[in-house]
Amino acid sequence: MTRFVWGIAVFMAVLATVTSVDACSNLSVVMADGAIVIARTMELEGLTHNHEQFPFTLETFKRNTEFSGASSCEGTTLPSNSLGFAAITNHIPFMNPVSSEGMNESGFTISLQLFTIATYQTSSGNAGKTPICYMDVVMWALGQFSTVAQLVAALTNDVYVVKGKRPSSGNYGHWIAQDATGANVVIEYINGQLAVHDNSQVGVVTNQPSYEWHVTNLDNYIALASSADAKLLKNMQAIVPDLGTFPSNQGHGFNTIGLPGDSSPASRFVRLFYLKGLALANGGVPKTLTSAIQMASALINTVFIPTGSATPPSVLGGYDSTQWTVIKIPSTKEFLFRTYANNQWRRIQLADLDFTQSQTYALYNTGDGILDVSPLPKQQSPTLTNSTAEDDSSPSTLEITSSHTHRGPPVIPGNGAFRSL
């Protein structure tokens, strides 16, 4: 490789590392029996309009995998995992893989989301503790812990989280961890200090500012209510003989006037919190897993970001778009995912996986998810179309690159809303 070509390759790799995880959202719905269903989006500020430009894959990691750890941190190591796990992983050029989302065989799950104001720890005051690179926290946690309580204890007593060796690009993060017991916490580092917040009641996380700021900001929208005050409206009404009574209710949905609709972290936090509250208050707490998945899916759709709709934050930056979305059910160890191009939910069931082996699933290039139900000749059944997204010429069926056969069932019985892999 010539020196010029090598320089171009390095330059593009650096640009890839400074693209920001700008607009992630995390939402949890608590069912009547206390189980939680979690929905999360991943948005990235890309350098082009191609929403599949980032090298994400969905991978399962066998127990006792040897990890190299993030190449951006010095003096840190990533221990091998005692628990098998599935994670969405980014293979950035010239860097070791970094996972930003996943669930392990115990149902413990953790998400990494952008948090530009994070200030991590140093060795000062942490004698006897092990340093962990912030980019390794997801893999480390998934491989070591079965519960949120175990993770919080380790972060408090055993390790300290450090930043990378490169100058800060603002690509720091905070974490949301949940488990099969229903535990739900937000983990942030503010001014070098660990802050852990119980998120089980709020159930929403976006990005900066701090979680404390976001929950306080909810007070500014207290006027949003589940229904109009009919008595107050009647007392205010006036009659115009030839026109009618004013004001009057001309439709429905006016209770959410004032709910912010932009894509900023603050607005997404408010929107998800109040829409979830309204859905639970008026629609009822989900009693079945199917209804909880439907509610979580509908709510997370309200923060979907189309490519080009969010203004780039810098000259080098591109436009945010929702690269992928996941739904996680810790109690049943199910992991659902879909992408910008293919909105059909696909699923892996961790209870059915063989964690003595690792395998990789294609996240992108899986068709458009459109089901053709037009009349077909006898002996044929409707199938997924082979039409694909832009720059996508692969077949619509999910490609599994693996040395062994997956043991999960091919299709979920019932409503057919998502496919099993």
pLDDT-wise least confident of 62-76, 117-131, 399-413: 399-413
Asked if residue 381 has pLDDT above 80, the reply is: no
| pLDDT for res 404 | 36
Is residue 256 a part of any domain in this protein?
no
Gap between the terminal Cα atoms of the chain: 40
Whether 401 is in a domain gets the answer yes
Position 90 pLDDT exceeds 50: yes
**Whether pLDDT at 410 is above 50:** no
Amino acid 287: pLDDT: 98
Least confident of 41-55, 223-237, 399-413: 399-413
pLDDT surpassing 70 at residue 385: no
Q: Alpha carbon 215 to chain centroid distance?
A: 19
Whether the predicted pLDDT of 394 surpasses 60:
no
Has residue 5 got a pLDDT over 90? Answer: no
pLDDT of res. 329: 98
pLDDT band for position 97 (cuts 50, 70, 90): confident
Residues 324-354 as b or e (16 or more Cβ within 10 Å = b) = bbbbbbbbebbbbbbbbbbebbbbbbbeebe
Which pTM value belongs to this model? 0.82
pLDDT beyond 60 at 263: yes
pLDDT over 70 (residue 228): no
One-letter amino acid of 413: P
Nearest Cα residue to 67 out of 96, 24, 40, 36: 96
Among the residue ranges 34-38, 144-148, 174-178, 242-246, the one predicted with the least confidence is 242-246
Look up residue 306 and give its two tokens. Answer: 């189309």
Mean pLDDT for the chain overall: 81
Q: Is 344 a domain residue?
A: yes
State percent of the chain over pLDDT 70: 73
More confident residue, 397 or 244: 244
Higher pLDDT pick, 397 / 391 = 391
Length of the chain, please? Answer: 421
Q: What is the pLDDT of residue 214?
A: 93
Q: Is 114 helix (H, G, I), strand (E, B) or coil?
A: strand
Q: How confident is the model at residue 169 (pLDDT cuts 50, 70, 90)?
A: very low
State the residue range of the domain holding 355.
19-217+264-420
Does residue 251 belong to any structural domain of this protein? Answer: no
Q: Considering the domain boundaries, does residue 3 fall inside one?
A: no
- Highest mean pLDDT out of 161-170, 270-279, 358-367: 270-279
pLDDT band with cut points at 50, 70 and 90 for residue 68: confident
- Among 11-20, 97-106, 259-268, the minimum mean pLDDT is found in 11-20
3-state secondary structure of 297: helix
Asked if pLDDT for residue 405 goes beyond 70, the answer is: no
Residue 340 CA to residue 389 CA, distance in Å, equals: 9
Q: What percent of the chain has pLDDT over 90?
A: 55
Give the pLDDT mean for 305-315: 74
CATH number for the domain spanning 347: value is 3.60.60.10
User: Per-residue confidence at 313, pLDDT binned at 50, 70, 90?
Assistant: low
Q: Is 104 helix (H, G, I), strand (E, B) or coil?
A: strand
Neighbours of 262 (CB within 10 A): 10
pLDDT band at 223 (very low <50, low <70, confident <90, very high): confident
Domain count, the chain: 1
Q: Which of 132-141, 235-244, 258-267, 356-365 has the lowest mean pLDDT?
A: 235-244
CA distance linking residue 271 with residue 260, whole number of Å: 6
Task: Give the list of residues 6+ apart from residue 253 with CB closer than 8 angstroms, or none.
Answer: none
> What's the angle, vertex CA 163, arms to CA 161 and CA 166, rounded to 5?
165
Please say whether the beta carbons of 10 and 160 come within 8 A: no
Q: State pLDDT tens for residues 6-42.
A: 444 433 444 443 344 457 999 999 999 999 999 999 9
The average pLDDT across 286-311 equals 94
Domain for residue 81, yes or no?
A: yes
Asked if residue 277 is part of any domain, the answer here is yes
Residue 141 has pLDDT above 50, yes or no: yes
Comparing 227 with 399, the larger pLDDT belongs to 227
